[in-house]
Amino acid sequence: MINHRSPEFAALLTRTLEGVKRALYTQNDVLFFAASGTGGLEATLVNLLAPGDYVLGVTIGAFGNRFLEIAERFGVQVQRLEYAWGDPADPTDIDRALAANPALKAVLVTHNETSTGVANDLQAIAAVVKRHNRLLAVDAISSAGALPIEVDAWGIDVLVCGSQKAWMTPPGLAWVVVSARAWEAVKANPAPRFYWDFAETKKYQDRGQTPATPAVSNFYALDTALSLMEKEGMERIFARHRRMGALTRRAIKDMGLELLATSPRHYSDTVTAVKIPASHDFKQVSARLQSEFGVVVAGGQGPLAGKILRIGHLGYVTLHDVKHCLNAIGAVLGRPLPFTLR
Ligand SMILES: Cc1ncc(COP(=O)(O)O)c(C=O)c1O
């Protein structure tokens, strides 16, 4: 490791900050924390909100629930807008809820719900929240860097990212993107925080440091990942994810399998959730995928345990990898596909 209070680290921090900003189309402040994505969610809530504040909590699955649960643990009053797992959020419901309750200070929402393979229409949601002049905090942990997000143009107040997904970096680094409007709320918020304090983090970052020891090795990895991303170009990265998502869904349908996601316009291009046929057992399927093909899939969370398998197709992944994974699933489920791998 290098000295994290050295000019070398300051240069690394500046480079990664600028790279992340370019990928997210933002001039807003980016604040890094040594944490997993959940740390970024908690950081957002303790800086933006105080016990007793009212928020609209939109949830379409397990990670949406987590965001709201953290808020509730900190004493925030969450008015829940819940959807069935597999469905997207409807911006008109958000519109109605905000119109009906002026006390709602902010909206909490997950962009891409990793537990169900559904991507909310973040741009439409952001437009509604802006129209009502409320704050918008977004969990973009499984979308940022893979799906288009224009933080400034869409008016997102806090966007939470985690290193281990589209950013192709080991777990352990979270960051939040904070708008000028969010800063006003943060500065006026008397609720206590220490490790997660946005203002303290910004104060140090402005001189090329972090308040506590940063995850130095993750910054090296992120720096390398950002140069790969820069080389590929964001538009091409988005297109690659669209192709991987479309190919996965087409193959799943060709195999006669069913997606969990109900709305084609909201299919996630970073993760696909597939219903497991009644004839098969998830544990056996996943064990065979791993031992015979070296393919690791995820299972369902909460009520979906044993009912779905999830294919991640984001970050350091190619169409070739996706085809290999789909061939393996076809073979294990006895529904072979005609993909040839070159
Ligand atoms: C949408 C979303 N939110 C939150 C998390 C939690 O992130 P972490 O496990 O890095 O704390 C994840 C992790 O998969 C996620 O996909």
DSSP assignment of 23-66 equals HTT--SEEEEEES-HHHHHHHHHHHH--TT-EEEEEESSHHHHH
Testing ligand 1's pocket by substitution, the residue of 59, 110, 114 carrying the most ligand atoms inside 8 A of its CB is 114
pLDDT in the model for residue 340: 79
Query: How far is ligand 1, taken at its centre, from the CA of residue 165, in Å?
Result: 9
The tens digit of pLDDT for each residue in 109-160 reads 999 999 999 999 999 999 999 999 999 999 999 999 999 999 999 999 999 9
Counting beta carbons within 10 angstroms of the beta carbon of residue 163, is it exposed (0 to 12), middle (13 to 18) or buried (19 or more)? buried
User: From the DSSP assignment, how many helices (H) and strands (E) are in the chain?
Assistant: 12, 12
Predicted TM-score (pTM) of the model is 0.98
pLDDT in the model for residue 335: 92
% residues pLDDT > 90 (the chain)? 98
276 closest CA partner among 205, 329, 202: 329
Cβ of 42 less than 6 Å from ligand 1: no
pLDDT in the model for residue 342: 56
Testing ligand 1's pocket by substitution, the residue of 108, 120, 122, 141 carrying the most ligand atoms inside 8 A of its CB is 141
Cβ of 163 less than 6 Å from ligand 1: no
Query: How far is ligand 1, taken at its centre, from the CA of residue 342, in Å?
Result: 33
The tens digit of pLDDT for each residue in 1-57 reads 999 999 999 999 999 999 999 999 999 999 999 999 999 999 999 999 999 999 999
Q: Tokens 């939470």: give the residue.
A: 160
Element at 273 (helix H, strand E): strand 271-275
Q: Judge whether residue 338 has pLDDT over 90.
A: no
CA distances from 282 to 134, 257, 272, 289, 301 (A): 42, 14, 15, 10, 12
Query: How far is ligand 1, taken at its centre, from the CA of residue 341, in Å?
Result: 31
The tens digit of pLDDT for each residue in 175-220 reads 999 999 999 999 999 999 999 999 999 999 999 999 999 999 999 9
pLDDT in the model for residue 114: 98
Give the span between the Cα atoms of 306 and 226, in whole angstroms: 36
Give the span between the Cα atoms of 273 and 258, in whole angstroms: 9
Work out the average pLDDT over 79-87.
98
213 phi and psi angles, rounded to 5 deg: -65, 125
Q: Judge whether residue 107 has pLDDT over 60.
A: yes
The tens digit of pLDDT for each residue in 51-65 reads 999 999 999 999 999
The set of residues, in sequence order, having a beta carbon less than 8 Å from that of 249 and lying 6+ positions away, is 259, 267, 272
Mean pLDDT for all residues in the chain? 97
Give the span between the Cα atoms of 148 and 166, in whole angstroms: 12
Testing ligand 1's pocket by substitution, the residue of 36, 58, 63 carrying the most ligand atoms inside 8 A of its CB is 63
275 phi and psi angles, rounded to 5 deg: -70, 135
- Collapsing DSSP states into helix, strand and coil, what is residue 119? strand
The tens digit of pLDDT for each residue in 257-291 reads 999 999 999 999 999 999 999 999 999 999 999 99
